[in-house]
Structure 1
Amino acid sequence: MKKILLSTIMAGCVALSVNAQSDYNKWSLELNGGFNHAQAPLTPNYFSPIGLGHVDFGVRYMFNDKFGAKLDYGLGSFNEKGDTPAFSTNYYRLNLQGVANLGRIMKWESFTRTFNLLGHLGAGIGQVRPDANPLDDNVYNIMGGLTGQIKLGERVALTGDISTIVNGRQTVSFDGNTNVGPNDPSFQGPKANWWTGTIGLNFYLGKASTHADWYVEADKYATKAELAQQIGEIKDMLKDSDGDGIPDYLDKEPNTPSGARVDNMGRTLDSDGDGIPDHLDKCPFAPGPASNNGCPIEEEAKEVDYFKKAINEGYVNVYFAFDSAKPLGYSASATNYVANFLKRNPGVKLEVKGFADELGPEDYNMKLSERRAKAVYDLLISAGIDASRVTYKGYGEDTSVDKQSADARQLARRTSFEVQ
């Protein structure tokens, strides 16, 4: 068995020396140690504890950033528990297993780049050597488990593994006192089972900057030429001909006058629908004629009603970039309109309501929406609004939009207002 292991590792090293890699490293060495526990078979009144007694080491190769294979060699021993008659059984195993990078398959990179999870399943051969039995018991086995990873650096990761092993063709119990003959029906099929729990280290080999365990396609670096081309394309896309804060490629009204208040598509806003754009309207939430600068002539005009109408129809929102709690420049002026309205109407109270798109974990989006609401709340307080008149709350993900559409997701990253 030792010759087989040595030959395999040497073959792996030769393959490593000729393997050309560009984006990520594929080879790693694994060293683990920890607990084991023999579950069955044991002679009646014989018991084995959960205890330190297992080590294993191996070599792993990833075919891509999600799937790979590994060859590992493990050994250890089982001993008696408590008042059980004394026994000692050594075991050895050699396994070839398939490996799945579950963290990348489940896209953990969307919320962590430090923790990862691998799954492994395969088969192998082994020996069970009880001191109480002079014969070495050759077996085959099937094993599988989960390996958690914590990234310590680009060359090493801390691991914790739980594995279950099932032996076939085992002819002795783990204490060595009970024999199963070849004529016993259970001799051929899986009979014995045991498990291991270990901690260890993964050592990554190769010339690339990262390993397949942690590689994310979006992080791939562009060449200088590609980067220059992309920068040029971005500059063209971000041109803002009318200076309203909306790049031309998104601007539905690319010729708005300077100082105009626009929505997130660059269209001039007329919140009260009186035909006078907000930047020229002295009363943007109460309709009035142009002769009165957009303000109603009636002395008892109900500005609050129009303010509610503007909110209900989605005219008053503050928008945010992806994963950000800082208002986008083009929409931050909505806060000034709200603050001026509250100053003119001291009896009105309102709630700032934060929202997020559906990308990322739900609990993270809930906290992000609350930070967005708090940011706008702080702006209102700094503008001189009494804190007793304003509340804020995060409502998490806005599921009413099409999460497959980038424009729709942008509309979800916002704070709205509700008059109370």
Structure 2
Amino acid sequence: MKKLLFSVLLLSGAAAMAQETMTQDGPRDRDVIPYNQWSIDVGAGVHKPVRPLAGGYFTNTPSFAQGDLGVRYMVNDKFGFNLDLGYNRFEGDDDSAPFKSHAYRVSLEGVVNAGTFLGFREWTDRFNFLVHAGAGVTAMSYKEPLDIDDRDEMLNFTVGVTPQLRLSDRVTFFGDLSIFGHVRQDRTFDGTAAQNLRGFDGFLVNASVGFSFALGGNEVHADWYNGSVQSQLNDLDSRVSTLETEVANDTDYTLPGYLDQNALDSKYAMKGSNATGTNGTDGSGLIKQLINEGYVNVYFEFNSTKPTNYSLSSINFLAKYMNENPSASANLTGYADELGTSDYNQTLSERRAKMVYDILVATGVDASRLTHQGQGEDASVEKSSDPARQLVRRVKFQVN
């Protein structure tokens, strides 16, 4: 048993170390990886020992008292490894002869992010599912009706599926259904009878719910990675194209005031980069004035660092200005509303500014021309008003 356990742990460590030094499929510097690779998965739930059980011994269907702790490392956004520690407690139901036994397991599993292969990221960033399979060792101890000193030591093989619901950038709620096959299980789950079967002589089903906690300094875990900034830019191009088509085909279509270029042209008399407005300022200066006075902002939903769809045009607005004015620089300042703690909102405002900064750099704006910061909470609006709080969850621009 000790040799088997040592082998599993050694294999787990070797797999992680091998991925640390891998250079052919990606950069070696972990800091440039745009997603978190480590997570802690904690789950508990019900189980059903299907076989073997001696005559007269039964369990509830399903029975409570099983849990597991997983330490997971994703090599990339598609594949990973999981070191799983598990516990099961087996007891007879009301119609069974009484018995109690306990099982402890450790296993190393390969994990596949099935949602990535099935295109989940193209339509949702809330739902996903993983597939896992692996092998390890299990030790069974029997307490009632026989108190057996020696543990029944066996190999376990497992396969399972794990649906996921993303609650935040750091926390994911999951369900899991896993099937275990035991090799060399010498006694029944109740411990009262010896087994002489060959091959998979034990069969167990676990169903769990729990939480996965992402570890690392990046915004998103590999489970939810979606091509980073480039994916958002592709989405921006698609949405802008759709918007242009709708405007061209629908004469009644009205853009929000700050996005309606006709309205801006009319108000500021801007017909080109060299045009002059009603106050005599050239067109480039009016655009700068428009940006600095807060007519162009990037807005966010509650507790989110992803810009709202309509705000992507604001990022595009600034990107075009920066590209047409190569000597200009810009500062990006993020804000949060008053809900939540001040420390959390300070971090959230910084992450929002950093997200907009990353998108602008990906459009071709030189990073040296951009700075970003977070100012935490904006308390200038009524805290009880949802629409008002929406206005302060933003990143604003200041161009120089």
TM-score interval (norm. to shorter): 0.5 to 0.7
Higher relative contact order (CA 8 A, sep 6+): 2
Separation of aligned partners in 2, 1:9 and 1:150: 27
Alignment-derived partner of residue 175 in structure 1: 190
Alignment-derived partner of residue 208 in structure 1: 218
Separation of aligned partners in 1, 2:242 and 2:92: 56
Q: Does 1:84 align with 2:86?
A: no
Separation of aligned partners in 1, 2:102 and 2:54: 17
Mark the CA change 1:84 to 1:102 in structure 2 (over 3 Å): closer, same or farther: same
TM-score, normalized by length of structure 2? 0.53
Q: Does 1:35 align with 2:46?
A: yes
Show CA shifts across 1:153-178 (max 9, x none): 11111111110101000000001111
Mark the CA change 1:94 to 1:174 in structure 2 (over 3 Å): closer, same or farther: same
Report 1:164-243 matches (<5 A): 164-180=179-195, 184=196, 186-187=197-198, 189-217=199-227, 219-220=229-230
Alignment-derived partner of residue 52 in structure 1: 64
Alignment-derived partner of residue 158 in structure 1: 173
1:67 is displaced (CA, Å) by: 0.8
Separation of aligned partners in 2, 1:142 and 1:9: 16
1:52 is displaced (CA, Å) by: 1.4
Counterpart secondary structure, 1:213: helix
Show CA shifts across 1:269-318 (max 9, x none): xxxxxxxxxxxxxxxxxxxxxxxxxxxxxxxxxxxxxxxxxxxxxxxxxx
Match of 1:68 among 80, 88, 101: 80
Counterpart secondary structure, 1:99: strand
Q: How many correspondences in the alignment?
A: 235
Q: Is the 8 A contact 2:16 2:73 kept in 1?
A: no
Separation of aligned partners in 2, 1:91 and 1:75: 6
Separation of aligned partners in 2, 1:53 and 1:334: 62
1:83 is displaced (CA, Å) by: 2.1
Mark the CA change 1:9 to 1:57 in structure 2 (over 3 Å): closer, same or farther: farther
Q: Does 1:107 align with 2:119?
A: yes
Separation of aligned partners in 2, 1:74 and 1:322: 51
Q: Is the 8 A contact 1:26 1:62 kept in 2?
A: yes
Mark the CA change 1:122 to 1:7 in structure 2 (over 3 Å): closer, same or farther: closer
Alignment-derived partner of residue 128 in structure 2: 116
1:323 is displaced (CA, Å) by: 6.8
Separation of aligned partners in 1, 2:250 and 2:176: 50
Q: Is the 8 A contact 1:40 1:194 kept in 2?
A: yes
1:329 is displaced (CA, Å) by: 2.6
Structure 2 letter corresponding to 1:26: Q
1:219 is displaced (CA, Å) by: 3.6
Match of 1:130 among 134, 137, 142: 142
1:7 is displaced (CA, Å) by: 8.5
Separation of aligned partners in 1, 2:68 and 2:105: 9
Alignment-derived partner of residue 416 in structure 1: none
1:328 is displaced (CA, Å) by: 2.1
Q: Is the 8 A contact 2:12 2:108 kept in 1?
A: no
1:117 is displaced (CA, Å) by: 0.3
Mark the CA change 1:108 to 1:323 in structure 2 (over 3 Å): closer, same or farther: farther
Rg larger for: 1
Q: Which structure shows the bigger proportion of residues in helix conformation?
A: 2
Q: Is the 8 A contact 2:88 2:103 kept in 1?
A: yes
Instruction: Report % sequence identity.
Output: 31
Structure 1 unpaired stretches of 5+? 235-319, 336-420
Alignment-derived partner of residue 332 in structure 1: 250
Structure 1 letter corresponding to 2:75: F
Q: Is the 8 A contact 1:146 1:161 kept in 2?
A: yes
Structure 2 unpaired stretches of 5+? 21-27, 254-400
Counterpart secondary structure, 1:104: helix
Separation of aligned partners in 2, 1:32 and 1:322: 44
Counterpart secondary structure, 2:58: coil
Mark the CA change 1:121 to 1:322 in structure 2 (over 3 Å): closer, same or farther: farther
TM-score, normalized by length of structure 1? 0.50
Counterpart secondary structure, 2:30: coil
Q: Considering only aligned residues, what root-mean-square deviation do their CA atoms show, in Å? A: 3.4
Mark the CA change 1:179 to 1:133 in structure 2 (over 3 Å): closer, same or farther: farther
Mark the CA change 1:143 to 1:13 in structure 2 (over 3 Å): closer, same or farther: closer
Mark the CA change 1:9 to 1:29 in structure 2 (over 3 Å): closer, same or farther: farther
Q: Does 1:140 align with 2:151?
A: no
Structure 1 letter corresponding to 2:218: A
Alignment-derived partner of residue 256 in structure 2: none
Structure 1 letter corresponding to 2:208: T
Alignment-derived partner of residue 105 in structure 2: 93
Report 1:393-404 matches (<5 A): none
Structure 1 letter corresponding to 2:181: V
1:93 is displaced (CA, Å) by: 0.7
Structure 2 letter corresponding to 1:119: V
Mark the CA change 1:65 to 1:85 in structure 2 (over 3 Å): closer, same or farther: same
1:36 is displaced (CA, Å) by: 1.2
Mark the CA change 1:19 to 1:93 in structure 2 (over 3 Å): closer, same or farther: farther
Structure 2 letter corresponding to 1:101: N
Q: Is the 8 A contact 1:321 1:328 kept in 2?
A: no
Structure 2 letter corresponding to 1:200: G
Mark the CA change 1:221 to 1:327 in structure 2 (over 3 Å): closer, same or farther: closer
Separation of aligned partners in 2, 1:57 and 1:145: 15
1:45 is displaced (CA, Å) by: 1.9
